Structure 1
Amino acid sequence: MTAVPYSIRQEAEHIFRDTLLRDQRLGLPQKVASASERTTFDTTAIDTACLPVPWKFFESSAALWALAATYGNAIAKERFGVDQDVVVNTDVASLFLCSSLLVRVNGKSFQDSEIGARVANMNATKSLAMIGLPPTNPDLDTSEKIIAEISSKVEEYDADWLDTEANQYWRQAGTICLTEDEFHTSEQGKAIKDDGIYVINQFDTPSLPPTPYPTVSRDKLRPLEGLKMIDISRPDIGPLLIDGNLGKRDVSLDLKSESGRATLRRLISDADVVLDGYRPGALDRLGLGADYCRTLARRRGRGVVVVRENCYGWSGPLAPRSGWQQISDCFTGVAWGMGRFLGLNEPVVPPLPNSNYQTGLAGLVGILAAVDRRATDGGSYVVDVSLKQSSKSE
């Protein structure tokens, strides 16, 4: 019997139609299922795996893009009466996961040493101090010497000590690498095991009536045309700023100053969607968290959608911790799975920041769902997404 070759496109469509569209946790309305009949996957795309990973990174990226585009198509039909098709190219969806690596400035790639040195220098002073090393050492003039020096110091401590010191005392992101089974049996894993790729909580109904979509010119028929979105985040890493800020208007605010807080409050007061990209609780401590956004919405009589993103999920003992894509991959067992896939008895962080980008896609679908519900049911909404929710769904 001849084996059927594996197809990226077919698996992406399977995830889209048989997993995402049927996931009751997402609360998708019937119009999305109806719109999915006009969603197809481009048959001219490369259909074989192009990167050796044991997880369905590319397939799930394409499936999430299909869901986002299908939901947007359903909203566009409802708003503008347009009938159109959605065609998903799995090549483009795959490249999306490494788009920050493809950025060019004035024709120069971020692989250029001059640009890379400017934007890729993350402050490691606290992490070095934690293990008793100075911030600089001119004698360590090669990467081999630096690795050997740091490795010898790290070996002086056990994983529990490093985990506790980093997260609690030094407030640095870090985690113990778990296997997939260890993650699922951990208190944090059990706390978020029933979460979908996003969790939506509705507030302030029926006090806030439905918010109709704004009237826009007929030459702009994008699904969310006319809605105002505020993205609050720190542009620490240059490639991500350029990659993630396309189409946005930028403003730099000092949120620890009264003038900066007042400006952000004014921006939020008129926003339809607010994206909180800070570590959990940071905006709350500044008085500008989700609860306050909802208060401003009640005052104006029009609901708001607040999207919160974190690493560990929004319930469980580790929910307040900060974390990055690498932390999520290590905590959920993705790194151990990658290492074993490569024939190694050690965890290896995958070569692409998959959970970063797929969390963004999950947030996009969550925004579409919450804005759609605001238009029909009224109220305000908090959309929770996390790197862990994305990692455990791969």
Structure 2
Amino acid sequence: MSAPQTLAGVYGPGTHTDRDFKPVPQEAERILRLIASETPGFTKDEKLLSKVEFEGEDYPVLPGPIKAVEVASALHAMTGVLAEEILALRGLASDESSITVNTTHVAFWLASIAFAYLEGEESLALASQKKLDALYPNFEQGWVDTPLKYRTTAIYPTKNPEVWYSLHGSLDATPVLKSLGVDPAQPAASNEEAYELLSSATRTLSPEELEFHNLQNGLCGSICFTPEAWNNSSMGKSLAQHPLVNVKAQPQAIPTPPITFPPVNLSDKRPLAGIKVVEMTRVIAGPQIGTILAAYGADVIRISPPHLRDINILQLTLNAGKRTIGIDLREQQDREILFNLVKDADIFIQGFRQGKMAKYGLGVDDLLQIAAKRERGIVYVSENCYGPDGYYAERPGWQQIADAAAGSAYVTGRSLNLPTEAVLPSLPISDMTTGLLGAVGAMLGLKRRATEGGSYVAHASLAAVNTYALKPEVGLYPRNTVEENSKKFAFAEMRGAHHVLDLLVTVYHGWKRVFGESYLREESGWFQSFEKSAFGGKRLSVLKPVVRLSDSESTPSWRTPSVPYCFYDKTATKF
């Protein structure tokens, strides 16, 4: 399918807007082939690609002009295609098989971190009523217990009225507030008052001064660039040198032979059954990699540093199908436990800053040495904000920072008819999609290890996901499409002041108005339920995995419910 005819500049410099609207499933199919054609090592076999069937609502269900659902749907389909190839390698393929991706399901999946039911009650409602606090360990340590801390993560005006800046509290707002001369203990009666207080500080600084201020202090932040400015920047150019699905063989390593997949266990015919994964991640993007791999059958052990903050509600969804343990790398005994796990792992996932794992003997070269000694390659998956190399590769960053840097926040603001203000995309889209990107990379690396031998490094970055969705070959929705979508769902106001959690709730309420009696009910068939969970023994229902394979025994699903962070005994945990 050819790229859409586009208009330049509708949502600002560097934007490319479709002249005509195309249904979401149709665009997902086109974008699948676009990404596949650009991905080294991924199949170009049309017979296999044509097994994918896209279905779902024709019209977008997310606010804004960005085709986030279509890009994510294409990546989900790629996991399905890789699953079919892996099943073939394991002797379980069928010429008549099919892969189904529902694009509306994908839209809900983008919000699924807060999309769960406990004993029939919605997790969002339970969280707002503080009814979840007693059911899981508190890893938040008061990260948003005051309006001032909560609003430290938002998009702010600067001395230049044309350019806004994204601040981020990084789950610990105190250093950010102090660096701006704001007393963290200063009272603010509301989120609005807190935002105005911080705005009075940011308005005294130019965007460049804010950027240098954060670099000096080792803090997160980003100018809200236009897509054109980001693409022309040093970091944008570095990122452009890599494909979206970025999987590279490691020819410098001691060669290891092709590794067949484990023998088929008739009690578990999922594609990755028997594959061992060690996941050392936090928050959303990194954990999502392991959650997807677990749905495809992998044995995933998620490791959380007990002393670092995380978001409590994510325990309900992002630990599905996993075992969880706590490991403190500062402790020698804990490091030894982790090294023993890694020695047997097929995949290692890490979501910390570039170079951080090498300090503890867990960098790429360290694991390549382990792979050489055991004569079995490994797939090393890294997730970060800016990409694998370039000026900002080691800089800390989060979803909101990548949304601002790559131009997504700028574009979203223009689509809402705000002449200068930048606004975050409405959900943790880049977080979720980066996790999906990492899962595609992990599966592609596994397939190549089985057919070519060797070890592989897959890199997934938040900025890459944002940049790709703004490419001219992908295109943006026309203005009338965005406006009709807003009217259909009656979405509430969205502004730069809003945290991504605020925006998620706004979208959820719009969906409830339109889909509340269909897709979103626990009994709708869109949820996977576990009658008992580790959360007070309550029934837990989470949104099902997106991809459906025609063989029900191979289709992705989780065999165990989510568990809290650090749930298992680390001294007894083995593959």
Identify the residue that residue 183 of structure 1 maps to in structure 2.
230
State the shift of 1:180 in Å: 0.5
Whether 1:149 and 2:197 are equivalent positions in the alignment is: yes
Identify the residue that residue 368 of structure 2 maps to in structure 1.
294
Whether 1:49 and 2:60 are equivalent positions in the alignment is: yes
Contact 2:247 2:457 in 1 (8 A): yes
Identity in percent? 32
Structure 2 counterpart of 1:209, which letter? P
1:243-291 Cα offsets, whole Å, 9 max, x none, are 2211000001111111111111111111000001112222112222221
Whether 1:303 and 2:351 are equivalent positions in the alignment is: no
Structure 1 counterpart of 2:28, which letter? A
Identify the residue that residue 285 of structure 1 maps to in structure 2.
359
State the shift of 1:242 in Å: 2.9
Distance (Å, rounded) in 2 between the aligned partners of 1:367 and 1:80? 21
Whether 1:376 and 2:392 are equivalent positions in the alignment is: no
Could you state the TM-score of these two structures normalised by the residue count of structure 2? 0.64
Distance (Å, rounded) in 2 between the aligned partners of 1:168 and 1:290? 28
Contact 1:313 1:388 in 2 (8 A): yes
Tell me, what secondary structure is at the counterpart of 1:21?
A: helix
Distance (Å, rounded) in 2 between the aligned partners of 1:27 and 1:334? 29
Q: What RMSD in Å do the two structures reach over aligned CA positions?
A: 2.1
Comparing 281-290 and 306-315, the one that deviates more: 281-290
Identify the residue that residue 233 of structure 1 maps to in structure 2.
281
Greater per-residue helix proportion: 1
Distance (Å, rounded) in 2 between the aligned partners of 1:291 and 1:241? 32
Please list every run of 5 or more consecutive structure 2 residues that lacks an aligned counterpart in the other structure: 1-18, 145-170, 284-309, 470-575
Distance (Å, rounded) in 2 between the aligned partners of 1:39 and 1:8? 15
Within the candidate set 13, 16, 30, 2:29 is matched to 13
Distance (Å, rounded) in 1 between the aligned partners of 2:131 and 2:368? 41
Tell me, what secondary structure is at the counterpart of 1:307?
A: strand
Whether 1:26 and 2:40 are equivalent positions in the alignment is: yes
Contact 1:110 1:116 in 2 (8 A): no
Within the candidate set 110, 114, 119, 1:101 is matched to 114
Could you say if the C-alpha distance between residues 7 and 263 of structure 1 is closer, same or farther in structure 2, counting changes exceeding 3 Å? same
Within the candidate set 215, 218, 221, 2:263 is matched to 215
State the shift of 1:359 in Å: 1.1
Whether 1:339 and 2:386 are equivalent positions in the alignment is: no
Tell me, what secondary structure is at the counterpart of 1:87?
A: strand
State the shift of 1:143 in Å: 2.3
Tell me, what secondary structure is at the counterpart of 1:110?
A: helix
Whether 1:261 and 2:309 are equivalent positions in the alignment is: no
Within the candidate set 214, 225, 250, 2:324 is matched to 250
Identify the residue that residue 385 of structure 1 maps to in structure 2.
460
Identify the residue that residue 36 of structure 1 maps to in structure 2.
49
Contact 2:82 2:443 in 1 (8 A): yes
Structure 1 counterpart of 2:225, which letter? L
Identify the residue that residue 240 of structure 2 maps to in structure 1.
193
Contact 1:232 1:277 in 2 (8 A): yes
Structure 1 counterpart of 2:274, which letter? G
Identify the residue that residue 160 of structure 1 maps to in structure 2.
208
State the shift of 1:76 in Å: 0.7
Could you say if the C-alpha distance between residues 71 and 173 of structure 1 is closer, same or farther in structure 2, counting changes exceeding 3 Å? same
State the shift of 1:86 in Å: 0.8
Identify the residue that residue 430 of structure 2 maps to in structure 1.
355
Please list every run of 5 or more consecutive structure 1 residues that lacks an aligned counterpart in the other structure: none
Identify the residue that residue 88 of structure 2 maps to in structure 1.
77
Comparing 352-361 and 280-289, the one that deviates more: 280-289
Contact 1:211 1:302 in 2 (8 A): yes
State the shift of 1:58 in Å: 1.0
Aligned residue-pair number: 385
Greater per-residue strand proportion: 2
Comparing 175-184 and 352-361, the one that deviates more: 352-361
Comparing 150-159 and 201-210, the one that deviates more: 201-210
Distance (Å, rounded) in 1 between the aligned partners of 2:46 and 2:277? 26
